[in-house]
């Protein structure tokens, strides 16, 4: 076991900082209108900064006019459908401590609220999404591979390109003007088509939820078959086979810990942005979950050996809990079947 500890590295969590939004102006696809945001905002509030010659946030004719067709009183990033009547606001960068109860997308018509969707409405398992030290990404975005995308006016110098990726408005969303729809995808492969004129969901595909439900059904079926077989024999409580019970739980704990170590090594050897969703989900399940459960207060410096032992302890507790629960279920069902058999025998 000590040899395994030598190559174990503590889980790496990406550092990040949350910057406030800046004023901007962005044109609609047909270039006939421009949406202007004159305010700056962050988690603490909204502040007027102005974006000359505009004085209010909203939609303007793209002909130099400073008289808005309609205005908004909020601050944030938007997706712009064709035309001048609708706008879709995207929620701020999702914070881990707020979970699914924060803004995903919100639909407006001429400044009036139509429909609001929380992140939790659109994503099934938030914990398994790609996370940084304090935030997570829920929506699949389209990167600007060569950094050549045109930034909105007013942001050319204030929003830097990071690793060659520029901020692209309407990235990761697809508008269909004839059908008046907006399509988005989540990091878990969920696919949504919205009517941007009403905000209603036209269709949705949630393969990750279906896969999770199918897996749960399969596990339940296999466990039912296991119970049917094992309860046909006389029940032996775990304390009568304590040595083998503890040995099995320890082996399972070490196996799960080693799996996490291999996943962690794979994670550290790659740029997290290059890893697929399955790899990131497994890493969070086998590496991040034990750490966050045992260290709820935040980051603690551990040696490689202590980090390995901590995860063994976590999975040992999990294995013991599941093992004891299984024995209780098996014992209860075995006792019930034994009583029914004895009752049927006495009736004969």
- What are 6-10's contacts with CB under 8 Å, separation 24+? 6/304, 7/261, 7/265, 8/261, 8/264, 8/265, 8/304, 8/307, 8/308, 9/264, 9/265, 9/268, 9/304, 9/307, 10/302, 10/304, 10/307
**CA–CA separation, 233 vs 230, rounded Å?**
6
49-95: per-residue pLDDT in tens? 778 888 899 999 999 899 999 999 998 888 888 889 999 999 888 88
Query: What pTM was estimated for this model as a whole?
Result: 0.74
Lowest pLDDT segment from 23-37, 41-55, 146-160, 321-335: 146-160
What's the pLDDT band for 5 if we cut at 50, 70, 90? very low
* Residue ranges per structural domain of the chain: 24-205, 209-347
Which pLDDT value is given to residue 261? 86
Residue 183 confidence (pLDDT) above 60: yes
Which of 44, 37, 129 lies closest to 89, judged by CA? 37
């Amino acid at each position: 076991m000590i040899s395994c500890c030598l190559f174990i590295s503590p889980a790496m969590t990406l550092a990040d900082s949350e910057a406030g939004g800046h004023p901007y102006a962005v044109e609609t696809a047909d270039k006939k209108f421009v949406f202007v945001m004159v305010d700056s905002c962050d988690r603490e509030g909204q502040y007027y900064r102005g974006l000359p010659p505009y004085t209010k946030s909203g939609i303007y004719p793209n002909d130099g006019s400073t008289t808005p067709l309609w205005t908004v009183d909020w601050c944030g990033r938007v997706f712009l459908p064709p035309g001048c009547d609708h706008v879709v606001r995207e929620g701020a960068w999702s914070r881990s401590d707020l979970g699914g109860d924060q803004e995903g997308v919100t639909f407006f018509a001429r400044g009036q609220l139509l429909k609001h969707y929380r992140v939790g409405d659109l994503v099934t398992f938030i914990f398994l999404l790609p996370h940084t030290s304090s935030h997570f990404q829920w929506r699949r975005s389209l990167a600007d591979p060569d950094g050549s995308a045109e930034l909105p006016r007013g942001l050319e110098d204030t929003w830097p390109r990071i690793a060659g990726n520029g901020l692209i408005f309407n990235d990761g969303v697809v508008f269909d003007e004839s059908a008046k729809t907006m399509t988005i995808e989540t990091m878990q492969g969920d696919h949504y088509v919205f009517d941007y004129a009403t905000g209603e969901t036209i269709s949705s595909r949630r393969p990750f939820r279906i896969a999770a439900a199918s897996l749960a059904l399969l596990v339940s079926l296999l466990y039912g078959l296991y119970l049917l077989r094992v309860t046909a024999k006389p029940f032996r409580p775990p304390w009568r086979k304590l040595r083998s019970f503890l040995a099995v739980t320890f082996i399972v704990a070490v196996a799960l810990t080693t799996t996490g170590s291999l996943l962690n090594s794979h994670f550290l050897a790659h740029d997290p942005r290059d890893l697929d969703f399955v790899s990131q989900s497994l890493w969070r399940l086998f590496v991040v979950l034990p750490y966050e459960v045992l260290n709820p207060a935040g980051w603690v410096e551990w040696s490689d050996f202590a980090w390995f032992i901590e995860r063994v302890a976590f999975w040992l507790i999990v294995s013991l809990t599941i093992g004891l629960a299984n024995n209780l279920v098996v014992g209860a069902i075995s006792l019930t079947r034994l009583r029914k058999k004895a009752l049927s025998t006495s009736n004969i």
